[in-house]
Amino acid sequence: MTMIKSRLSRQERAAEARIYRAQLVLFLEKLWPALLPALGAVAAFLLLTLFQLWQFLPWIAHYAVLAALAGAGAFFLIRDLKDLDWPRRAEALDRLEKDGKVPHAALRAREDRPFSQADSDSPLWRAHLSRMDQLSGTAKLDKAHATADRIDPWNLRYGVLLLLVLATFIAWGDFGARFWNAVSPRPAGSIPATVDLWIDPPAYTGRAPVILVQSDANPEGSQPGIAVPEGSVLHARINGADRRGPGRARLVVETNDGRFSPDLSRSETALTGEASLGENAAITLSVNGRRASWPVVVAPDQRPRINFAEDPVATDEGRVRLVVELDDDYGITESFAVMSLDPDQDRPLDTPAISANRAADEEIVPVSGLTGAYGVRSAELTLTDHPWAGLDVNLRILGKDGAGQEATTETVSVTLPERDFYNPLARAIIHERRNLAVAPDSWTRTSRSLDALTFAPDRFFDRPTEYLLLRAAYWGVINGRGENVSDLIDEFWPLALQLEDQALELARRALAAAQQALREALERGASQSEIQRLVENLRSAMQNYIQALAESGQSMANREGEAQELEARDLDDILDSINELSDSGANNAARQLLSELEQMLQNLQITQGGGSQSGGQQQSGGQQQGEGSGEGGQQGAGGEAAQRTGDLIGRQRDLADDTFDAQRQQLAPDGSGGTAPSAAELQQQQQQLGNAVDDLLEDLDNATAESGNADGEDVARSFREARERMADAAEALENGNLGAAGAFQQEALDALREGADGISDQIMQAQQGDEEGSEGERAGNGRNGTQAQVDPLGRPYGAPAPSSDIGIPDLSDPERARELILELRRKLSEPGRTEEEIDYLERLLERF
């Protein structure tokens, strides 16, 4: 009996499930035709959006259609859904009976109930139910009926569905932008959103910016990967967009540490933002529904490496030559010389030992020139004014790249070169300065030394200023009591220079600054007006230096031979040639002439084979120099050729200008083109200029034949080409064809410039060979004692000043006395002299 009840219960549950499904199908059959009108409005919106048909509507019509579609959809929904209800049970039973063809309404008959409880137990009622159960066994639910046909009798809905599928394929990957443009109409003439997205690598890398999007619509989807250096900066500029609405314009940078959104700030016409890229990242930009992403690989900056290629050495000019080998991915941008005192070096017995604190200190000196990505670099460091000059130091080179990473060389020991002072007071000041630099506690010793130097000023000081300067230094040490040692060290150097020769030092510094300024201007290709100004500055500084050099008593002989004297006119000619070459565009030749000028001025400072030698020695030295001056003579010939070439270029350029003016005057309709030379005059000048080139060619051919230098043939070829073009220009001028003459003259100028560059290359090669050979010659002369360096007074360089070899001529030498009197009177007549100088010159005149 229990099994029967359980089976009946399962039958009832299955029947109820069928009834519920029937109700659901009936509800959907009512819902579908009710939704169809509203779905038609939605389909119309989708088709207009996916096919981008909105762009053909004015923005007012765009708004109107949007409102109409939204209103129609809402109207149909409200109208057709307000009476929609859930199907009744009887409707579901009827549907099951019809689909299953159940006779006698068996399903609904089973729902009947007897009038009384007694009848429900009667055999007749049970037989009735059993019969109905058997008949309802065929009840089933068939497929849903096409109820939409009454709304859409022509089946247009299937065509719309097909169009939607087609539009989906067409708009694939661009849904966001198309939907955003559909719901955000813009007035006619409004600017569509454009994007500028780029990545700026650090400036020190020298790499160009990486352009992701340039003045275009934001792309859609994933973009190709990008590799950038570490420290790059992402920049975004979005025109025609704002921050209103979700996702209107948004920039996101996602890294391993998380994601962040750089702030897009509003400028006058655009949204701008930036973000630093220090590690691998994914950049995502969303603009008006279009979303694009770029994977970015950040390459880390490698640490630089720097090593000594050669050991540091002191040069003959008193500098420290540094040669290092660099290696860095983007280049070392800064370099420094790091020095510390060598505590184990020998010190004189009368000087204080190096203190422990000073031995631990490091001096950092910037070094220019030891920069770059890879290769060997060299630089010369001038440290003669450093307090440690003349001492042994431990030296290393510190290099930094643009990212601030550092590299250092090994530490080497080197003796810093020092400047030689001839004035005994200046030497004493430098000696005490060095003592204070290595042992600040020795200030009491320094004070006693300065006090001793200023003893009996009426006997040992001819110039009151020297006594006052030393006495002021003494009181500075006493009053400081060891607390201002660094200030004293800084003050002692200009004091020593002032005691030695202040005017000469200042003139030397001004000359070096003028040379450096002109060199940099030639290298960067500055304007001709700036070149002329710098040339005049150098001319003035050079004249001041030569005058100060002469007044200091140093010799004016050139180092290449005492017999060769430099005159101011020669130096002015070189400056004029530099100006002409630069004006004509031959900057290489101009720089070479500037190098020659610097070498000549440097050779004026200290001469070799001075007056301390006997006549025979001087003659022998002169012979040796004459015999070994082949390369030097070649350089001199090359310098003269460069000057002549500069003059020819200037003359040819002026002639070309005159030809142009004559042509303009010829073409002027009213004859108002100005006054210019005639064609005959121009032809005569062109022929004279061609003859000058012939003379230069003859000299070059002779020099080439003597030296056997193959490069001279190439130079001569350029000048022959210039000569031919000059001949063509002369012929064109003879025929009155000024236009053709101007073209030939320009070609002649180009050929002259090529020849000037060739001459400068020859001079440079000759100088390099001369430098390589002169090192060994100087070393041999020093060992044999035949030719030693001497100071401007003829004494062995660095030797103490003699006390009895120098005297002032008196009346027993009338010719020499007369020359000195004239010179003293000339100096007294010069304006601008101080009272002290005038008193000194007058006291000298009294002795004669």
In a domain, residue 746? The reply is yes
692 shares its domain with 723: yes
Other Cβ atoms within 10 Å of 691 Cβ, number: 12
pLDDT of residue 200: 92
Indicate the range of 320-334, 336-350, 624-638 predicted with least confidence.
Answer: 624-638
295 shares its domain with 311: no
In a domain, residue 111? The reply is no
Q: Is the pTM of this model over 0.85?
A: no
pLDDT tens per residue across span 511-561 = 888 888 888 888 887 788 888 888 888 888 888 777 766 655 444 444 333
Indicate the range of 380-384, 419-423, 440-444, 585-589 predicted with least confidence.
Answer: 585-589
Q: What is the mean pLDDT of residues 571-583?
A: 78
Q: Which residue, 341, 339, 335, is CA-closest to 323?
A: 335
In a domain, residue 513? The reply is no
- DSSP 8-state secondary structure symbol assigned to residue 790: B
- Asked whether the predicted pLDDT for residue 340 surpasses 50, the reply is yes
Indicate the range of 274-283, 617-626, 706-715, 782-791 predicted with least confidence.
Answer: 617-626
601 shares its domain with 749: yes
Domain that holds residue 397: 306-415
Strand partners, 421: none
What is the pLDDT confidence band of residue 325, given thresholds at 50, 70 and 90? very high
724 shares its domain with 591: yes
pLDDT tens per residue across span 381-412 = 888 888 888 889 999 999 998 888 899 999 99
Indicate the range of 224-233, 329-338, 601-610, 797-806 predicted with least confidence.
Answer: 797-806
Q: How far apart are CA 656 and CA 96, in angstroms?
A: 112
**Greatest distance between any 2 Cα atoms in the chain:** 178
* Boundary (domain end) residue, out of 741, 762, 784: 784
What is the pLDDT confidence band of residue 578, given thresholds at 50, 70 and 90? confident
- Asked whether the predicted pLDDT for residue 294 surpasses 50, the reply is yes
pLDDT of residue 633: 43
In a domain, residue 469? The reply is yes
Q: Which residue has the higher pLDDT, 454 or 371?
A: 371
In percent, how much of the chain has pLDDT > 90? 8
Kindly report the backbone phi and psi dihedral angles of residue 696, in degrees, each rounded to the nearest multiple of 5, phi listed first: -65, -40
Average pLDDT of the residues of the chain: 75
* Boundary (domain end) residue, out of 299, 328, 362: 299
313 shares its domain with 285: no
- Asked whether the predicted pLDDT for residue 749 surpasses 70, the reply is yes
- Asked whether the predicted pLDDT for residue 247 surpasses 70, the reply is no
721 shares its domain with 575: yes
Indicate the range of 260-264, 295-299, 419-423, 760-764 predicted with least confidence.
Answer: 760-764
Q: Which residue, 385, 419, 384, is CA-closest to 493?
A: 385
Indicate the range of 87-91, 126-130, 366-370 predicted with least confidence.
Answer: 126-130
In a domain, residue 119? The reply is no
Residue 345: CATH number of its domain:
2.60.40
Q: Which residue, 699, 701, 751, is CA-closest to 725?
A: 751
What is the pLDDT confidence band of residue 467, given thresholds at 50, 70 and 90? confident
In a domain, residue 805? The reply is no
237 shares its domain with 271: yes
Q: Which residue, 322, 316, 414, 415, is CA-closest to 371?
A: 322
Q: Which residue has the higher pLDDT, 66 or 713?
A: 66
What is the pLDDT confidence band of residue 819, given thresholds at 50, 70 and 90? low
What is the pLDDT confidence band of residue 506, given thresholds at 50, 70 and 90? low
pLDDT tens per residue across span 195-218 = 899 999 988 888 889 999 988 888
- Asked whether the predicted pLDDT for residue 299 surpasses 60, the reply is yes
pLDDT tens per residue across span 765-783 = 665 555 455 444 444 444 4
* Boundary (domain end) residue, out of 299, 321, 349: 299
719 shares its domain with 664: yes
pLDDT of residue 170: 87
Helix (H) or strand (E) holding 530: helix 528-551
pLDDT of residue 117: 61
What is the torsional sign of CA 28, 32, 35, 39?
A: positive
pLDDT of residue 91: 79
pLDDT tens per residue across span 451-466 = 777 777 766 666 676 7
In a domain, residue 527? The reply is no
Indicate the range of 34-48, 428-442, 453-467, 472-486 predicted with least confidence.
Answer: 453-467
pLDDT of residue 574: 81
pLDDT of residue 515: 84
In a domain, residue 568? The reply is yes
pLDDT of residue 778: 44
In percent, how much of the chain has pLDDT > 70? 71
pLDDT of residue 318: 82
Q: How far apart are CA 323 and CA 311, in angstroms?
A: 7
Q: How far apart are CA 764 and CA 591, in angstroms?
A: 10
- Asked whether the predicted pLDDT for residue 791 surpasses 80, the reply is no
Q: C-alpha dihedral over 257, 259, 265, 271, to 10 degrees?
A: 120
Q: C-alpha dihedral over 420, 422, 428, 433, to 10 degrees?
A: -30
Kindly report the backbone phi and psi dihedral angles of residue 782, in degrees, each rounded to the nearest multiple of 5, phi listed first: -65, -40
287 shares its domain with 325: no
294 shares its domain with 310: no
What secondary structure does DSSP assign to 685-704, as a single string? Answer: HHHHHHHHHHHHHHHHHHHH
C-alpha separations of 371 from 170, 232, 313, 356, 378 in Å: 57, 22, 20, 34, 9
295 shares its domain with 319: no
What is the pLDDT confidence band of residue 120, given thresholds at 50, 70 and 90? low
143 shares its domain with 19: yes
Q: Which residue has the higher pLDDT, 19 or 786?
A: 19
Phi-psi region of 832 (alpha: psi -120 to 50; beta: other; left: phi over 0): left
C-alpha separations of 399 from 89, 332, 382, 386 in Å: 93, 6, 19, 21
Q: CA 332, 336, 338: angle at the middle one, nearest 5?
A: 140
How many domains, the chain?
6
What is the pLDDT confidence band of residue 296, given thresholds at 50, 70 and 90? very high
